[in-house]
Amino acid sequence: MLSLIYGLLVLPLFLYWGTTVVSFTMITLLSVLFMYQSFSSSFNLIFSMSSLSSFLIVLSLVLCLLSFISTPSSNSFSYSMTICLLGGFLILAFSSSNVINFYIWFEASLIPTLILIICWGYQPERLQAGTYMMLYTVGASLPLLLVLIWRCVDGCSTNLFFLSLSAGDLVGAVLIFIYGAFLVKLPMYGTHLWLPKAHVEAPLAGSMILAGILLKLGGFGLFQMNKCFSLCSSFSISFFLVCVSLWGGLLAVMACMRQVDVKAYVAYSSVGHMGLVSAGVILDRTWGVSSALITMVAHGFASSALFCLAFFTYEKSHSRSMPYMKGILKLYPILSLWWFLFCCINMAAPPTINLLGEMMIIPATWFSYWGLAVVMSVLVFFSAAYNMYLYGSINHGDSSRYLTSGSSMGCHEGVSLTAHLIPLVIIFKSSVFLI
């Protein structure tokens, strides 16, 4: 009886999601046409539909569906409803044109994520991971609420379009409050300690949504704040944050080489990629903004696929420690092929959409200060190095005896990984055709 009720409740939701994915995919592909011109936005007082929000809504819908496909064993009603609730909050956050509503849904998305970590996490440390996540993200965003209330009272409106018409200069301390709330969410290096803990303790669906969508809330928030505040009014603070983002990204990718847990490895690689996103948005140049948009979408699918691969390999090796996972190539060649493909995508090997995102930020950093372009180039080199090290450590060498008891790849694993790859190919083909 319970399964029948569950089916009646979830089936209409999936049908709605399916039609929405198709429609927003068309919007997304059309919006690539205008990527180098401007971000189009409607003047609706309730919903805002720009090319950026279209991309991220499609990303949210697809990854929520893929989280169900990737975890067929976790089919409880409460688990499914938690993911659906999280997806609903994310769609409302990405489509809201009211800054107060955006802040509410921005913070509300943390509640289902915390439930996923605490209720379906693997180890007792999940309570500490949830505490870290809430303290970092909520503590950094509370000052932002006060700034937003003051800005709405000063501008006599809560709509982003009307606030953008009267954006004024701000003092340095207020800029730190605005930037800080979203840089912690990205996260920027120095405020990233909650992310590896959350990833290590979260279930697969939690890691997929956290890396693929929730981190993008920070970048999307910076885009939204650029509309109602003049965030580049203080060059010194903006330049300082760009330097911290790029240098922090470099330190994060170097820290990858010291990781043993494969989930922590992928989590630190996310910190490196998000450093590029924050630098591109804060520089506020055409190439930098376009690079941030492309990197956010590409990283959403690539990092989610890497967490899927880490989980599928964990099911066969019964360990997340990289020395115990080696030798995949001998026993599971198809799984090794998927590792090769997504490590190449994550390291921005040509021809991938990630390469386009990393190359487009170089002009923005070079024209700001040539030293930033040098740091960016070193970051790209180490990004390729740690991805090659990740692939070699897991797939090559003598196979561990723990791998022999694993089962072969299931149908749902191949479907999930293929569904991660197809959007990246479509977006890349569309971008190359338009260029």
* 76-112 residue pLDDT tens: 889 989 999 999 999 999 988 888 889 999 899 999 9
Q: Convert the pLDDT of each residue in 171-192 to its tens digit.
A: 667 888 888 888 898 888 888 8
Supply the pLDDT for residue 42: 42
The residues, ordered by sequence, that sit 6+ positions from 406 with a Cβ below 8 Å of its Cβ are: 315, 316, 317, 318, 331, 332
Q: What is the mean pLDDT of the chain?
A: 81
Q: Considering the chain, what percentage of its residues have pLDDT values greater than 90?
A: 20
Q: Convert the pLDDT of each residue in 134-171 to its tens digit.
A: 888 888 888 888 888 888 888 888 888 788 777 666 66
Tell whether the model's pLDDT for residue 287 goes beyond 50. Answer: yes
Structure tokens at 371: 């030293």
Span 346-350, average pLDDT: 88
The residues, ordered by sequence, that sit 6+ positions from 373 with a Cβ below 8 Å of its Cβ are: 362, 365, 366
- The residue extents of the domains of the chain are 48-232, 234-435
Tell whether the model's pLDDT for residue 314 goes beyond 60. Answer: yes
Q: What values do phi and psi take at 165, rounded to 5? A: -75, -20
Of 92, 129, 320, nearest in space to 217 by CA: 92
pLDDT band at 349 (very low <50, low <70, confident <90, very high): confident
Q: What values do phi and psi take at 232, rounded to 5? A: -95, 15
Span 345-357, average pLDDT: 87
Of 291, 274, 163, 284, nearest in space to 223 by CA: 284
Give the chain's end-to-end CA distance (angstroms, integer).
55
Q: Which of 14-28, 143-157, 176-190, 278-292 has the lowest mean pLDDT?
A: 14-28
Tell whether the model's pLDDT for residue 41 goes beyond 90. Answer: no
Supply the pLDDT for residue 16: 38
Angle, nearest 10°, between helix axes 411-434 and 2-31?
20
Supply the pLDDT for residue 189: 86
Tokens 């180890």 found at: 123
Q: Convert the pLDDT of each residue in 94-104 to its tens digit.
A: 988 888 889 99
